[in-house]
Amino acid sequence: MSEQNLTDDLAYLRDMAEAGQNAPLLGGRFLSWWGGLGALAYLGHYAIAEGFMGLQPVAFAWLWGGYAILGFGGFRLLQMTFPAGKPGAASMGNKVSRLVWMGAGMTLFAYFAGALARSFADGHASAAFVWSLPVVFSVYGLSQLTTGLIAGNRFLTLAGWGAIASVAAAVFLLGSNLVWVFGAVVAGLTVFLPGVLMMRSEPSDTV
C-alpha cells in the first residue's frame, strides 16, 4: 500500500468519524410525545385547580392517572414502531441522548413514587407534587443541555438552558395556579418543540 493510499484511507476514516459524531439526533418522537402530553396535563391541572366547568379535586387523580397510562402506553408504542437500523443511531450524540434520558426517566419515576407513597401515608396529596415542577424542569434542562452540547445541537442546547432558567421562575410562582400554565409553556418550548424539530431533521430509514 502506497503512502498516498494510506493517507487517503485515514482521511476517509476521519471524515466518517466526524459524520457519525454530527449525525442527526433520533429521539424527536419521544420528546414531542412527552413534551406535548405534559403540556396538556399541566393545562388540565390548571383548569381543575381553578374549578373550570365545576371540576372537583378528585379530577386530579383521573388527570394524572390517565397521563401515566397514556404516557407510558404511547411511549411503548413509539419504541415498538421505531425503525430498526436507523442511520446515525450509533453516533455519540444518540448514545448519550438515550443514556441521559434513561437516567432522567428513572429519576422522575423515583421522585413521584416517593410523592405517591407519602400521599398514601398522610391520607392527602403530598406537597411534593407541587414541588415537582422545579424538579421536572431541572431534569429537562440537564438532559437537553447535555445532549445538545455533545451532539453540537444549538437549539437543543438553548432548550436546556431555557429549562434550567425556568426553575427559578417555577419556584417563584409556587403557590399560584399560574405555575401550571407556566409549566405547560416550558414543556412546550423546551421538550415538545425541540422534539418536532429533531423529527424534521431525521434521516430516512435507508441510506
pLDDT tens digit string along 39-82?
Answer: 999 999 999 999 888 888 888 888 998 999 999 999 999 988 88
Residue 11 lies in a domain: no
Residue 12 lies in a domain: no
Residue 19 lies in a domain: no
26 and 83 in contact (C-beta within 8 Å)? Answer: no
User: Given this model, what pLDDT does residue 192 score?
Assistant: 97
Most confident of 79-88, 127-136, 195-204: 127-136
Helices within 57-191 (DSSP H only): 58-81, 92-122, 132-151, 154-173, 178-187
Full domain range(s) for residue 160: 25-201
Query: How much of the chain exceeds pLDDT 70, in percent?
Result: 85
Q: Band of the pLDDT at 207, cuts 50, 70, 90? A: very low
Q: What is the tens place of the pLDDT at every residue in 134-186?
A: 999 999 999 999 999 988 899 999 999 999 999 999 999 999 999 999 999 99
Residue 20 lies in a domain: no
Q: Per this entry, what is the length of the chain?
A: 207
Residue 7 lies in a domain: no
Residue 207 lies in a domain: no
184 and 134 in contact (C-beta within 8 Å)? Answer: no
User: Given this model, what pLDDT does residue 43 score?
Assistant: 96
Residue 70 lies in a domain: yes
Count how many domains the chain has: 1
Q: Which of 139, 163, 132 is nearest to 64 (CA)?
A: 132
Residue 183 lies in a domain: yes
Q: Which amino acid appears at position 153 of this protein?
A: N
